[in-house]
Amino acid sequence: MVRAEWAIFEEDFWAINNVLDDLLKSSKAGNVMLVDPTGQLVSHCGRDVDFDLTSFASLCAADFAANYQLAKLIGESDFSTLYHQGAKDSMFLGKIAKGVVLVVLFDKSTTLGLVRLRVRRAVAELDKIIETLYDKLEFRHEEYDALDDTFTREVEAEIDNLFAD
């Protein structure tokens, strides 16, 4: 299920940020972020950047979605990680539960091997946190399903009334 809006509980926010901060330090990366499947930036740890993080998060989610389709074309079920190497900076993306993407930006002061090793541990921890968070959100969503259906019908009726001849 892809959610367009997140409701992150305080304990989950701190759990996510603690994992990201630990990954940032242990991998010697410059930036670490979590992006939801719709491209929303969930959390960011690291140095200030000179680009728009919102746009960057959207592009990371799109990159993962495009590579998912490429994997399907060649007979793979999915690519769980992506790696992009630049002249100065590189990025490593890892898939987490529910299609959430972990993004690590790093330069030549660290190695891909160290980043991969540290990401593996972070993904395991974040998988648990994200699964628990989605369980909480699903329970919360079920509580309001009846209200949502009624609300939707009433809004549709009101829109019909506004545009009636």
Per the model's pLDDT, the better-predicted residue between 33 and 68 turns out to be: 33
Residue 91 CA to residue 35 CA, distance in Å, equals 14
Report, as an integer, the average pLDDT of 80-86. Answer: 90
Number of domains in the chain: 1
Is 4 within a domain?
no
The whole-number pLDDT of residue 68 equals 87
Q: How confident is the model at residue 51 (pLDDT cuts 50, 70, 90)?
A: very high
CA-wise closest residue to 126 among 26, 3, 36? 36
Is 56 within a domain?
yes
Report, as an integer, the average pLDDT of 9-26. Answer: 91
The whole-number pLDDT of residue 165 equals 59
Q: Are 94 and 20 in contact (CB under 8 A)?
A: no
Q: How confident is the model at residue 144 (pLDDT cuts 50, 70, 90)?
A: very low
The whole-number pLDDT of residue 64 equals 86
- The residues pairing with 90 across neighbouring beta strands, listed in sequence order, are 85, 106
The whole-number pLDDT of residue 78 equals 82
The whole-number pLDDT of residue 10 equals 83
Is 2 within a domain?
no
Is 1 within a domain?
no
Instruction: Give yes or no for residue 131 having a pLDDT over 50.
Output: yes
Residue 124 CA to residue 64 CA, distance in Å, equals 19
Q: How confident is the model at residue 13 (pLDDT cuts 50, 70, 90)?
A: confident
Q: In the predicted model, what is the mean pLDDT of the chain?
A: 84
Instruction: Give yes or no for residue 123 having a pLDDT over 70.
Output: yes
CATH label of the domain that carries residue 57: 3.30.450.30
What domain range includes position 52? 10-162
Is 16 within a domain?
yes
Instruction: Give yes or no for residue 71 having a pLDDT over 50.
Output: yes
Is 44 within a domain?
yes
Residue 148 CA to residue 65 CA, distance in Å, equals 29
DSSP 99: G
Is 155 within a domain?
yes
